[in-house]
Amino acid sequence: MKNLDKGIVLGFVRDLLLSLIASLFAILLLRWVTAPIGGFTFLIFKWLGLSLVASFIAFLVSKYYKRDRDVVSRESILHLVVAVFIKDIVLTLFLLLGLVSFPIVSDAVLLLFTDVLFTLLICQYVRISQGTEVRRIRSLSAARTALVVGTDEAAVQMANELNEAGTFNVVGLVSQNRSMNGRIIGNYTVYYVNNPAAVDHLKWKIGGIDCIFFPRANAQNSIETELSNDQKLLTEENIAKLDAAAKRSFDIVVSFLLLVIFSPLILICGIAVKMEDGGPAFYRQERIGMGGRKFRLVKFRSMRTDAESMGTPALCCGEADPRLTRVGRFIRAHHLDELPQMWNVLVGDMSFVGWRPEREFFVKQIMERDSRFQYLYQIRPGVTSFATVYNGYTDTMEKMLTRLDQDIYYLRSRSIAFDAKILMLTFLNIVSGKKF
C-alpha cells in the first residue's frame, strides 16, 4: 500500500472495521439461532481475529481499497463481490484447519450471515455518504452558473477562484478556436462559441448561463497556441452522441426483456386492479416529454376512477391519500405501478433514466417560477431520475423546484456511468423498502 493518500488509508481502516462489525453481528446471530456453544466468549475474540486477517487479505488482493467508496458503480460492486469471495475462501481455509471450530452447518450459516451483514453495512454507508453529494449539489444549485472566456492560465485561474468563492458555478470555458471544442483544460470543458446564436445554443445545451466572465488576455500563456488545428480528437459533442446512441440501445433491449420477463407479474397486477372496483387496469395520463411534446404515460391505476372528478389535477400526497385503492396503495408502495412504463421506454417516449415527466398543468406553474425547465426538453424523461433517488416523488411546488435544480445538475453531468449509478441506487432503494 505504498504511495497511498491519507483518504485511501482511512477508508481501508474504516472498511476493516465495518467487516469486523459484520463478523461480530454474524456470530451473535448464529448464537441466537443455534444451540448454546461452549466457551463462546473466547470463541468470539478468536473469530474476530481471524475475520480481521481474512478481511485484510481480501481487501489487498481484490484492491478493494482503491474503489470510489462514495458512489455505487459497476467497478465498486465488482470490487465488493471479489473482496467478499476472497474473504470467504480465507475464512473457509481457517475453519478447515481447525483454527476455530463450529458445527459444520453453523460454518456455512456463519459465512452467509457475515457476507450479508457486511454487504448491508457497505450499502448503508454508501447511502449515508450520498448526503455529502446532495449538499454539494444544493450549493451548486444556489450558485449562479458562469462561463469564463479563454483557455489560458488566467482563464483557468479565474474559473478556480470563482468556484472556490462559492457564488458562481463555472461550468466551462469559451473559445473561438473550433479545434478546442470538447477539450478538457483544468477540469473544465471548452465550448466553441463564435457568435450570439452559438451562445444561445450553449445556454440550451448546458441548462442556462447566468454570467460570462472575461479575464485579462494573456496570449503568451494561451494553451490554444500549443495545439495544431489539424489534430483529430473525439470531442465532447461526439462523445455525447455516442452516449445517446448507447443509452437508446440499452433502453430498447432492456425494456423489451423486462416486458417479457415481468409479463406474468404485469398480468397479475392488471387483474388485481380490475377486480377491486371494476375500473380500468391501466391509467393513461398526458405528460410533457422530450422537445416539449405530449405523450401518454402508462401506469397501473392506483386511485379511484373519480380521483380528479373536480377537474383540477392534484398530486398524490403519499400512502395516506384517501383516493388510493387498497390494491393501488400496495402497488405504489412496491413501485409495481411503474411496470407499464417499460412500454413508454420501448417506443421512445421515455428512457430508464432522465427527468420525471409532469403534466402540462404543473409544467406551466414551474415555468412561471423557473424557466430553466425548458432545458430539460433536450433529453427524454425517465422512469427514474437523479432527483427521485435522493428526494423521492414531489407533492408540492417547492419540492418540484428543488427537483428541477437536481434535474439540471443531471443534464450537465449525464453520462453512461452516471446513469448506471442512478439505476443501481434506485434498485437499492426499492430492495431496502425506501419510500420514494
Instruction: Name the residue among 21, 12, 28 with its Cα closest to residue 83.
Output: 12
- pLDDT grade, residue 15 (50/70/90)? confident
Cα(91)–Cα(84) distance, integer angstroms:
10
pTM of the model: 0.57
Quick check: 334 and 433 in contact, CB under 8 A?
A: no
Burial class (CB in 10 A: 0-12, 13-18, 19+), 47: buried
Quick check: 105 and 113 in contact, CB under 8 A?
A: no
Cα(23)–Cα(176) distance, integer angstroms:
60
Cα(367)–Cα(225) distance, integer angstroms:
43
- pLDDT grade, residue 1 (50/70/90)? very low
Q: Please check the confidence at residue 258 and state whether its pLDDT lies above 80.
A: yes
How does pLDDT run across 283-317, given as a tens digit for each residue?
A: 898 999 998 899 999 998 888 776 665 556 666 65
4-25: average pLDDT:
71
The larger pLDDT score, comparing residue 15 to residue 240, is at: 15
How does pLDDT run across 363-416, given as a tens digit for each residue?
A: 999 998 888 888 898 889 999 998 888 777 777 888 888 888 888 888 877 888
CB atoms under 10 Å from CB of 43, counted, come to 16
Quick check: 174 and 148 in contact, CB under 8 A?
A: yes
Question: Residue 6: its pLDDT value, please?
Answer: 59
- The CA-based angle 52-57-60, given to 5 degrees, is 125
Cα(433)–Cα(319) distance, integer angstroms:
14
CA distances from 90 to 40, 76, 412 (A): 22, 21, 45
Helices 416-431 & 104-142, crossing angle to 10 degrees? Answer: 120
- The CA-based angle 370-200-223, given to 5 degrees, is 120
Task: Note the Cα 311 to chain centre separation in Å.
Answer: 36
Quick check: 80 and 18 in contact, CB under 8 A?
A: no
- pLDDT grade, residue 228 (50/70/90)? very low
How does pLDDT run across 50-104, given as a tens digit for each residue?
A: 888 888 888 788 776 555 544 445 556 666 777 777 877 887 788 778 777 666 5
The larger pLDDT score, comparing residue 239 to residue 95, is at: 95
Per-residue cell: 239: 462523445
Burial class (CB in 10 A: 0-12, 13-18, 19+), 67: buried
Can you give the C-alpha Rg of the chain in angstroms? Answer: 26
Burial class (CB in 10 A: 0-12, 13-18, 19+), 7: exposed
